[in-house]
Structure 1
Amino acid sequence: MPQRSAVSSATETERKYTAADSGSLPDLAGLPRVAGIDVDTVELSAQYYDTADLRLLQSKITLRRREGGDDAGWHVKLPGGVDTRTELHFPLDGAGASSDEPPAELMNLLLGVRRGMPVSLAALLTTSRHRHRLQGSDGTLLAEVVEDDVVAVRGSDGAEVNWREIEVEIAPSAGSHDMATLFEAIEQRLAAGGISRSFSPSKVHRVLGDLLPAAPELAEGARYLRDYLVHELHTLDLSDIAVRRNEPDAVHSMRKASRRIRSAVQTYAADFGLDEALVDELRWFGRRLSPSRDLEVQWERLAERVSEIPVDPYREATKTRIDEYFSAKSETARIEALAALDSQRYLSLLHSLDTLVDELGKTLPARRRKSELNPEKLAQSVAAVAKNVDKRVARVLKADDPHERDERMHRARKGAKRMRYAIEVIAPLHPKRTTRILARFDDFQDMLGEFQDSVVSREHLLDILSEQGHAAESSFGLGILYRLEGEIGRQQAAHLEPAWKKALRSAEKLWA
């Protein structure tokens, strides 16, 4: 039996504000729904850990050990939406916890982000926190407004930094509807007292942020590609953690990010002299993730399709058989995906992608760069991909039998994805135009995706039917589903040519 995780998680919603060294917090009485304010002081001590090159901080992730307050323990904070982060908590007395070494479970969650490198003490912070706990009429905690007097010491050079700041954190019990209202009311009260939003997203960033590499000055085309790769690598890093935590859609997010990176490298390799060996490595990685994601999609698809079986008992028997089949296969696929994430080959791939981004960052400034980085030339690289997709679509239309058609449709779908991602890279060239183009491609890819899903569904249905021990009811139901999926495939295939022509006409405006 797998060991139960000691890591818990919560979503925190907070804002930070810059406070003068002197002065007091404005009166917080009379805020919406606030009936009482409880004030106290707590002393906090936090040790922040990172790799030698501050890889976690670059990914907007923090790893710390905190003592004092209500949440003493090891924490990992992950970026979320605006003003939100996910906090993972590991208790100080948890199995594997120690005074100066992060727990193995957290280190494994961060394996990909830290590129397999060790972490060490990056900063030590002590904070005297004056808390103002805003409560509703029933005593429910609505928000905390805290004044922090911080003393920080950097681990690298022993430099000391002191400052005072204010944090506002809305409690989950406040409710999503009132959260924004309360936030804004508090911010207006602070602004009236001369207190403004902080420039730094976290305390540790304030201490170590000046050690992070500055964004390089790049030629326009190189900047587009580098920004795109940096964004997708960040998505890959966060998805890595989510996959290890078995979060919904994590594998999908990770596979899509790796495909986008692969398409960008493959399309623009000649323009920037990129290492095309990375394409093969990214393809290997995608194949390791694909079974887990494909099974997730197919399980949901066929479970929903069961409702179209006309006889109630047959529906139930078919649903049970589908669940048994996919449950077993999904567990195996997840183990294989995690093995890939833990492999040295995967870590080497991440290091190679980091190197690629760094090399792009060393591209000569625009004023000294030759014409090969002309952004308009990059559109011609997209045109070359479009020509290839056009040929693949033509081959589909010439297919002699359904099996051959299915294979060729799949190749056309892969080519269309590569083209779409290549367009995303150069979207800053023509923002409005590419928005319209990508909308056309969404329609085209939705059609191709629905077709491919129908093909894979039929393969799984045949696989289920080939197993022994079926009741007649489930066999009948699986046959009905097979027929339905075949009809869906035929309908989508009929739309291929007009949908492609519409997408191509839209995209041709980039290079015509």
Structure 2
Amino acid sequence: MSTQQSGGGSAIHATEESERKYTATPDQPLPDLSGVARVASIDVDTVELSAQYYDTSDLRLLRSKITLRRREGGDDAGWHLKLPAGLDTRTELHFPLGTSGNGHGPDRPPAELLGLLRGIRRNRPVALAALLSTTRNRRRLRDSEGALLAEVVVDDVTAVRGPDDIELQWREVEVELGDGGTASGSELLDAVEAQLATAGITRSPSPSKLHRVLGDLMPVLPEATGAAGYLRDYLVKELHLLELADVAVRRQAPESIHSMRKAARRIRSALQTYADDVELDDTLVDELRWLGRRLSPARDLEVQWERLTDRVADIPIESQREATKARIDEYFSAKSDAARIESIEALDSERYVELLAGIDALIDQLSVAPSKHRKRAGLRPEKLVQSIGSVAKKVSKRVARVGDAEDPVERDERMHRARKGAKRMRYAIEVIAPLHPGRTDRALGRFDSFQDLLGEFQDSVVAREHLVDMVSEQHHAAESSFGLGILYRLESEIGAQQAAHLERAWRKALRAARKLWD
């Protein structure tokens, strides 16, 4: 588990933890783990832990697979915020236990952590949701050099949940990778799991202790039915990704703005395509477009900075390369800082919170029995496929118009419109993937190549715009201006190459997609 500083010099530290949970009964002892590969010694001890878990009244954090707690005892006492990060893996943010001088106390989570969760919480307050006391019997598996491979613990837990004061007790086993076990990763976890299985200790159905305590209080969406159900499930998935990306953007995590903008675009495209089919108000489309525009500058600058930095290697003279690289860094550094501030201001706004609430309401609307809405009651899932066909016709027209452009500026604008239409079509296909999984997989595979072409073209257009801005700035050395000119020529050539292959790439993508509705 590597530790890193997170969040612009704050007291928050982040670690990646990979662990698995198992159910066990009081009469199930742990098996002998000394035979697990690479284990040379096992340290055994017992620690007492107590933790207070916090959540909104409607369990927003738990529903997003996030936990916020204050723990005392053990090696990592403090405030912990756990975020999903993949199979068996979570990102855990640590904040030290504080006093009133730090702005938080035993019943007041740190403002720094609550700020990261503003979008998840919908800006609602959090309160004590559960109290857990744990007696932890710990076994630390070490290799021949003393490095910690994994920690296997038996937890005897007593929990009291806040909503109704019900008390629960259970035993569970946790296996967490140590710094010395990360190289083998899942192989080590699998080896320990195999040993546990010999003692009848099996994987837990609950992803966390808090889920075991409060899981039955979480609202449950009815089973998806028909066309509205496909759309609802797609929105639920993408909203979850958007929320997690929101937290990552606030933490300044790599690629976070890209992930958030992509999730917002997918939601918007799905709503645009199927608004008429399931009686949706288009207000959310406008608001999602607003969010995308607030996120785009920061992401575009990130992409362009990396792109042009890599392109510097194509400048033939070393002095020109160095001068050009320095000028590119100076230019993008200033613009990126300003763009990031604009992104965070958008996420901190009431308008953004209202947008999230609007998506929540739409998901609830799509979960209502279709018999209560005559149009949705008569809508067959196959009708959604026809909507994709309508989008395809629009994209075909946009692609055809690119070849009729009279000058490069007009060509660039028409390519951009074709790109936006193709993205909308791709995301619409993703919505109906459960309806025709094989066909949609093939269609999306073709779209990957087509969108790569359009994306490369658009990146070349934006790169040229930035290069012109840099050249127009005053008081810079001639070496850098000459280097920027070389990069402009290269980007122009790239754009022309992509435009020349547009129609052929679209025919291939359309041929695969047409099988969905023909």
C-alpha separation in 2, matches of 1:304 and 1:169: 39
Residue number in structure 2 paired with 1:122: 129
Matched to 2:181, the amino acid is A
Secondary structure of residue in 1 paired with 2:378: helix
Question: 1:463 aligned to 465, 469, 479, which one?
Answer: 469
Deviations 1:123-161 (A, max 9, x none): 110001111111112222111111111011110011111
How far residue 96 of structure 1 moved from its aligned partner, in angstroms, is 2.8
Structure 2 unpaired stretches of 5+: 1-6
- In 1, are the aligned partners of 2:55 and 2:127 still within 8 Å (CA)? yes
Matched to 2:466, the amino acid is H
Question: 1:54 aligned to 59, 67, 85, which one?
Answer: 59
4+ long deviations beyond 3 Å: 368-372
- In 2, are the aligned partners of 1:219 and 1:373 still within 8 Å (CA)? no
C-alpha separation in 2, matches of 1:194 and 1:218: 35
- In 2, are the aligned partners of 1:218 and 1:364 still within 8 Å (CA)? no
Residue number in structure 1 paired with 2:280: 274
Confirm or deny that 1:497 pairs with 2:503: yes
How far residue 80 of structure 1 moved from its aligned partner, in angstroms, is 1.4
How far residue 505 of structure 1 moved from its aligned partner, in angstroms, is 1.5
Residue number in structure 1 paired with 2:68: 63
Higher mean alpha-carbon deviation, 395-404 vs 458-467, is at: 395-404
1:213-292 → structure 2 map (5 Å cutoff): 213-292=219-298
Confirm or deny that 1:6 pairs with 2:11: yes
C-alpha separation in 1, matches of 2:385 and 2:45: 61
CA, structure 1 residues 217+492, in 2 after alignment: closer, same or farther (shift >3 Å)?
A: same
- In 1, are the aligned partners of 2:279 and 2:376 still within 8 Å (CA)? no
C-alpha separation in 2, matches of 1:203 and 1:434: 38
C-alpha separation in 2, matches of 1:369 and 1:317: 63
Secondary structure of residue in 1 paired with 2:192: helix
Residue number in structure 2 paired with 1:170: 177
C-alpha separation in 2, matches of 1:40 and 1:272: 59
Deviations 1:82-101 (A, max 9, x none): 11111000010373331110
C-alpha separation in 1, matches of 2:303 and 2:159: 48
- In 2, are the aligned partners of 1:16 and 1:166 still within 8 Å (CA)? yes
How far residue 475 of structure 1 moved from its aligned partner, in angstroms, is 0.7
Deviations 1:432-489 (A, max 9, x none): 1111100111111111111111111110000001100121111110111111111111
- In 2, are the aligned partners of 1:20 and 1:164 still within 8 Å (CA)? yes
Query: % of aligned pairs identical?
Result: 68
C-alpha separation in 1, matches of 2:224 and 2:310: 49
Residue number in structure 2 paired with 1:323: 329
C-alpha separation in 2, matches of 1:101 and 1:371: 48
C-alpha separation in 1, matches of 2:304 and 2:28: 60
TM-score by length of 1: 0.97
Higher mean alpha-carbon deviation, 253-262 vs 487-496, is at: 487-496
How far residue 431 of structure 1 moved from its aligned partner, in angstroms, is 0.8
C-alpha separation in 2, matches of 1:60 and 1:53: 13
Residue number in structure 2 paired with 1:90: 95
Residue number in structure 1 paired with 2:434: 428
- In 2, are the aligned partners of 1:44 and 1:129 still within 8 Å (CA)? yes
How far residue 502 of structure 1 moved from its aligned partner, in angstroms, is 1.4
Deviations 1:38-57 (A, max 9, x none): 11111110100000110000
How far residue 503 of structure 1 moved from its aligned partner, in angstroms, is 1.0
Deviations 1:320-348 (A, max 9, x none): 10110000000000000000010000000
How far residue 372 of structure 1 moved from its aligned partner, in angstroms, is 3.5
**Number of equivalences:** 510
Confirm or deny that 1:488 pairs with 2:494: yes
- In 1, are the aligned partners of 2:250 and 2:344 still within 8 Å (CA)? yes
Residue number in structure 2 paired with 1:404: 410
Residue number in structure 2 paired with 1:145: 152
Residue number in structure 1 paired with 2:339: 333
How far residue 265 of structure 1 moved from its aligned partner, in angstroms, is 0.7
Secondary structure of residue in 2 paired with 1:221: helix
Confirm or deny that 1:392 pairs with 2:398: yes
C-alpha separation in 2, matches of 1:223 and 1:365: 13
Secondary structure of residue in 2 paired with 1:176: coil
TM-score by length of 2: 0.96
Residue number in structure 2 paired with 1:185: 191
Higher mean alpha-carbon deviation, 357-366 vs 219-228, is at: 357-366
- In 2, are the aligned partners of 1:219 and 1:365 still within 8 Å (CA)? no
- In 2, are the aligned partners of 1:64 and 1:75 still within 8 Å (CA)? yes
C-alpha separation in 2, matches of 1:184 and 1:356: 41
Secondary structure of residue in 1 paired with 2:505: helix
Higher mean alpha-carbon deviation, 495-504 vs 202-211, is at: 495-504
Confirm or deny that 1:104 pairs with 2:111: yes
Deviations 1:57-88 (A, max 9, x none): 00000000000000000000001111111100
- In 2, are the aligned partners of 1:141 and 1:173 still within 8 Å (CA)? yes
- In 2, are the aligned partners of 1:267 and 1:381 still within 8 Å (CA)? yes
Secondary structure of residue in 2 paired with 1:373: coil
How far residue 309 of structure 1 moved from its aligned partner, in angstroms, is 0.8
- In 1, are the aligned partners of 2:279 and 2:375 still within 8 Å (CA)? no
- In 1, are the aligned partners of 2:224 and 2:230 still within 8 Å (CA)? no
How far residue 5 of structure 1 moved from its aligned partner, in angstroms, is 0.7
- In 2, are the aligned partners of 1:444 and 1:499 still within 8 Å (CA)? yes
Deviations 1:146-182 (A, max 9, x none): 11110111100111111011111110222322x3332
C-alpha separation in 2, matches of 1:147 and 1:218: 38
How far residue 392 of structure 1 moved from its aligned partner, in angstroms, is 1.2
C-alpha separation in 2, matches of 1:456 and 1:79: 34
